[in-house]
Amino acid sequence: MITYAYGRVSAKDQNLQRQLSAFTEFGIEKSYIFSDKKSGKDFERKEYKRLLKKLKSGDLLVIKSIDRLGRNYEQIISEWAFITNTIGADILVLDMPLLDTRTKAETLVGKFISDIVLQVLSFVAENERENIKQRQAEGIRAAIGKGIKFGRPTTDYSDEFLTVACDYIEKRITSETAMHSLGLKKNNFYYHIYRIKELYY
């Protein structure tokens, strides 16, 4: 059995060190740690694909948190099932010990509990995405009701866009990191930040 680890950040100038340190403290050799600096919108990532080719039945995959695996929870559930059922490897999420598929006392309790927790997390995430869309629609309707006219067409922000914008607003990342991740120039970036603050904050 080999223990692997996977880390990810969304932008090239974001720091992976916190995740890498957690893997080292867990006792994972550097040669078995894979990482990408790419958006979590899908699993088309070079190092992640390399990792999947190496994973074998009985191996363990360690990640720091579930959102480091990806942002799309429907895809995460599918990928989780592929790793644990098709490949036959186990998964451990360091920030949430209940997400640990390793069997306990030669039973399937570990996998059963992990599947339940993952389903609950997925439901919560899906529900939050719907709430974001609803708050966006309600905010726009309220603004129009007050006579506010938007100078540009209404924008339907993606979950990924909102996540990066909120990370900037709540000072978890810099404006440079956010602009790079979103592919926006300064004026356009601050226009959307202003709109998102008006709608959600």
- Please give the average pLDDT of every successive group of 10 residues along the chain, which has 201 residues: 93 80 95 89 88 96 87 79 91 86 59 69 64 63 56 62 83 89 88 79 57
Whole-number Å distance between alpha carbons of 83 and 41:
18
Q: How far is CA 27 from CA 22, 30, 104, 163, 201, in A?
A: 9, 9, 21, 31, 42
pLDDT value for 133: 63
pTM greater than the 0.75 cutoff:
no
- Concerning whether 10 is annotated as a catalytic residue, the answer is yes
- Among the listed residues 10, 35, 114, 181, the single catalytic one is 10
- Token pair for residue 191? 């226009």
pLDDT value for 29: 94
Beta bridge partners of 61: 4, 91
